Chain A
Amino acid sequence: MSPIDENHLHADPGIDGHHPHASAASVPTPPLQRDAARTIFQKGAPGRRAFVCPELDVPHVDVGELLPERFRRKQPPRLPEVSEPEIVRHYVGISKRNYDLDSGFYPLGSCTMKHNPRLHERVAALPGHARLHPLQDAERAQGALELMWSLQGALAEISGLPHVSLQPSAGSHGELAGVLVTRAYHEDRGESRHKVLTPDTAHGTNPATVTMAGFEVVKLATNADGGVDIDDLRAKADTDVACLMLTNPNTLGLFDPNIAEIAEIVHGVGATLYYDGANLNAVMGLSRPGDMGFDIVHFNLHKSFTQPHGGGGPGSGPIAVSERVAPYLPVPVVARREDGAYELDFGSGHPEGHRRVGSKSIGRLRGFHGNYGCFVRSYAYIRSLGGDGLRDVSETAVLNANYLLARLRQHGVVEHLPLAYGELCMHEFVLSGGPMKKELKIKTLDLAKRLLDFGFHPPTVYFPLLVDEALMVEPTETETKETLDAFADAVAAILREAAEDPEIALGAPYSTPVRRLDEVTAAKSPVIREVLA
């Protein structure tokens, strides 16, 4: 049973007053399984098994002759000994202890938890895609290469940046590619710049990437409107700056109105402008990073283009770049020859293995060609929607966010959870729980935990860092007005409840497989694997 049952969304999630434990009668939905967590390593019995090994059809040779004793494993690894029914029941059982997008609203800011069309799983599983080896000869992988070439083209059009590499494995991997491209660009010009600017609203991956790429992070302040502080930018933009990494709309959900001026300042000192594509869902078909003056953009195919998130990946993080930095793009990219055939290009037209001759590419960031399975899904999405459909996606995402924001600015909520910056928003918005904490004595964390009892995944909490008690809400375009209303009602109900008795929220959640967990002890004395007999 899922905890999310539409019939119960408006029901009182019933906590009997001051008693921290919900009584059975007052819990409206059957709780997620509450049996003790037992891992697969604690199940089964010696000798039990699922796998039947294919027969040894070649002449028997003593293992010792083929693999000398000193190279051999002495004891088999203590993997579980279980039958197939046990495996299925175990993983189906624990899957029910997860909340998931298919079960309910998931307004996790910056994560773009939109519906994943099931067609994508079907086409990705076709053996021609799923059982295609990455080192198959190009002439016998033309369908895959055409798909990648078409996706490169679509991403170029969507971003307004003409050159695309699909290689990076996720958004942060794309960031690393982009910053290394910047490094290569400056080095090629004989410059050794050592600073990268990131606003204080930036995703944590931005500064982490900057350090990994060997640059120093310089923070930029945010102005009173929630955009880049232009004076601070002017003061810090000098010829030591390699790049400015920006998200637009930014993590406050605001489109920076000064973007043209920002680009001018950055380009004026010879630096590159990097676009963190995590928030691309706000602007597809409406405004393009390339037209804003960006040189490099990474996409999060798992956000904007619906690769299911799998509980933490896989993702895919292609990058698109301007002419200026195109020679440094990671390899391979797919090229179309004059005869219409597709091939992998490893830089300056060289085949793999000869790439370094005359190529300025930063090289590879991983094995093979990128997360092709994600390309299939994203390509299917783009072909399903077309250009107009993608614009509809962004328009609806922004409409939904503004509608939900309006609902949360009604009396009873807005006093406690005011909008941190701006009036309207793009695809997401950030509320501050500061007044709520002060007046109602519950923190953003408590509100989030109480939302679990109402059957919702909470928004992103405590990010961006510059907003006190931040609550970052991204509803996405695939939610209905009814769902948005139900969520707004739940927030209002929790605030009313807290006004009467903050203890309820402070003790929440009550209806989940486990309740609040001791994270401090987990970090202090880490237990990160099962103790095996």
Chain B
Amino acid sequence: MLAAIGVGSLQEIFERQIPEPVRLGRPLDLPDGLPEQDVYEHLRALAARNTSAEDELSFLGAGMYDHYVPALIDMLMERSELLTPYTPYQPEISQGGLQVMFEYQTAISELTALPVSNASVYEGPSAVAAAGYLAKLHNDGRRLVVSAGMHPHTIETLRTYAHGFGMDVVEVPLRDGVTDPDAWADAIDADTSAAIFAQPNFYGAVEDAAALSAAAKASAQSGEGGRVPVVIAQVDPIALGILAPPGECGVDVAVGEGQSLGNRLDFGGPSFGMFAAREEYLRRMPGRIAGETVDVDGRRGFVLTLQTREQHIRREKATSNICTSQALNALAGVVYLTWLGRRGIVELGELLLARTHYAREALAGLDGVEKLHEQPVIRELALRLDADVAAVKRRCAEQGVNPGVDVHALSGREEDCGVLLVAITERRTRADIDRLVEVLGAAVAAEHQAAVAVYPMAGHR
């Protein structure tokens, strides 16, 4: 090969191209390579030092959930034909991937009742930020009004992005567990580019989406020649079998974290972000979109379409910088929705609703535990503990139960002190919930006892 190239040695290729001062004249300081079986054992040993949802009774949620992933998804995602292609730049040999995108877009449109969907973005919080950018491109407002009921990671991600866009993020507080409608209407002014809320919200509460959308549009119109804000909802797709879809609630852009749909936890990623909108936003959407067409013989086929939105064509005028997104995870999403099917997604939603309700009532019946709010909940519920949440969690862990997320540790908000967020997926049976009730009740009582022992007055609060 060297002779064909016309060089005397491999080194000559580099010496002729990389200037000496920037050549690394030493080996990389990394551990030596290992045979496959040793790497396997090393990675297995690391995995063994993690307590996964397999190793404890887990009620962790707050953005990612331990739903059951059907076996056929594992099988399909391991197929070389789906696992190893690049982005479908050559449609004639990428019809499989393009059709998956088209089917995915159809499923997301159907789920959200919004006519256009892209083929996925990275994940939930950055999808909200991408929607904020769409709003800026659409109406060039300076303010992003967000409900404090959004996931703390979402609000922080939005702030990170908005600083680059040159926009301000204004938070609207909650009242009774949901977005305060008066504060919401007050916050939306003529300079508001988008009004953003989560459905259900971070604390598990079902928001009155239709009222929030209507109020956002009305506030703007009552202003002085103001722009109409883009109404953006971050929705939980697993709930959309039973919950009114965003497209029927006046929402313009629906985004969301897709992990619940057939994707595993993977310590937080990769998953995928949904992004669906009304027709008028189609040409401002970020990311890939597959479209139907025909070939020269009239055969139905699919292509990446509306590419003049995208970075590789439009460069600095693109609607987003996104290139690689989450095609394989979106595949898992559409296969999952197909597996659930038209009836299954309703049945699953009703099961989650019933079990979550059962769990909330049972848990709120414990001494030192109360509901954070009275709003309807679907798959997650928030409790206020009359005890230190971290200490309670430690006590539960000794019993093999992870009771949920310590919200204050996540959000840092003073008002979240004592709040525990409990997720109930279909994998958590009534027996599991009963076990949680027993263990959490004992842990709170024990913490109380300990607190009384140290601070005698604490018992009389």
Contacts and interface: CB of A to CB of B under 8 A. Distances in A.
A312 B341 contact: no
18 contacts: A71-B376, A72-B244, A73-B346, A77-B245, A87-B335, A94-B95, A101-B84, A126-B47, A133-B66, A170-B122, A310-B328, A313-B329, A314-B328, A352-B409, A457-B93, A513-B92, A523-B305, A528-B305
B332 to A, nearest CB: 10
A291 B19 CA distance: 12
B82 to A, nearest CB: 5
Given A382-B30, A384-B33, 11 more contacts: A39-B106, A57-B430, A108-B86, A108-B89, A113-B86, A133-B53, A157-B28, A212-B161, A366-B122, A374-B270, A380-B39
B297 A260 contact: no
A132 B64 CA distance: 10
B107 A134 contact: no
Interface-central residue, A40, A212, A312, A380, by most chain B CB under 10 Å = A312
B53 A131 contact: yes
Contact of B82 (A51, A95, A176, A217): A95
A395 interface: yes
A517 B32 contact: no
B163 A180 contact: yes
Interface string B308-336: 10111111111011111111110100110
A335 interface: no
A484 B118 CA distance: 37
Contact of A519 (B64, B293, B337): B293
B354 to A, nearest CB: 5
A146 interface: yes
Contacts of B120: 313
A291 B24 contact: yes
A119 B37 CA distance: 9
Interface stretch (A58-66, A231-239, A436-444): A58-66
Contact of B270 (A255, A355, A373, A514): A373
A368 B63 contact: yes
B319 to A, nearest CB: 9
A11 interface: no
B434 to A, nearest CB: 10
A368 B325 contact: no
Contacts of B290: 528
A311 B87 contact: yes
Nearest to A289: B22
B275 interface: no
Nearest to A520: B293
A372 B268 contact: yes
Contact of B85 (A100, A170, A203): A100
A96 B100 CA distance: 12
Interface string B338-368: 1111111111101101110110000000000
Interface string A451-474: 010000110100100000000000
B353 A67 contact: yes
Contacts of B433: 58
Interface string B26-55: 011111111010011011111111111111
B163 A183 contact: yes
Contacts of B151: 367
A169 B122 contact: yes
B373 to A, nearest CB: 14
Contact of B13 (A94, A123, A205, A399): A399
Contact of B308 (A77, A96, A123, A523): A523
Contacts of A141: 50-51, 267
Interface string A94-136: 1111111111001010010100110101111111111111111
Contact of A92 (B76, B157, B410): B76
Interface in A64-90: 66-68, 70-74, 76-82, 84, 87-88
B124 interface: yes
Contact residue range for chain B? 35 or more
A311 B85 contact: yes
A98 B93 contact: yes
B269 A372 contact: yes
A140 B39 contact: no
Nearest to A374: B270
B240 interface: yes
Interface stretch (B1-9, B138-146, B186-194, B440-448): B1-9
A399 B301 contact: no
B23 to A, nearest CB: 6
Nearest to B53: A131
B230 to A, nearest CB: 17
B147 interface: no
A133 to B, nearest CB: 4
Interface string B72-87: 1011101111111111
B345 A116 contact: no
Given A129-B47, A532-B106, A363 B294 contact: no
A36 interface: yes
A358 interface: no
Given A368-B153, A380-B43, A523-B308, A53 B351 contact: yes
Contacts of A208: 311, 314-316, 318, 320-321
Task: Determine chain A's interface SS by DSSP, over half rule.
Answer: loop
Contacts of B270: 169, 313-314, 316, 371, 373-374
Interface string B88-109: 1111111111011111011101
B295 A516 contact: yes
Given A57-B429, A143-B45, A78 B342 contact: yes
A312 B45 contact: no
B119 interface: yes
B242 A84 contact: no
A513 B95 contact: yes
Nearest to A407: B4
A530 B106 CA distance: 6
Contacts of A522: 291-293, 303, 305
A366 B156 CA distance: 8
A127 to B, nearest CB: 4
A362 interface: yes
B124 to A, nearest CB: 6
B225 interface: no
Interface string A3-28: 10000000000000000110000000
Contact of B342 (A79, A204, A367, A452): A79
A304 interface: no
B94 A98 contact: yes
A30 interface: no
A132 B402 CA distance: 12
A413 interface: no
Contacts of B55: 127-128
A526 B282 CA distance: 10
B345 A399 contact: no
B236 interface: no
A49 B344 contact: yes
A119 B34 CA distance: 12
Interface string A134-149: 1111001111101100
B408 interface: yes
A37 B291 CA distance: 13
Nearest to B426: A54
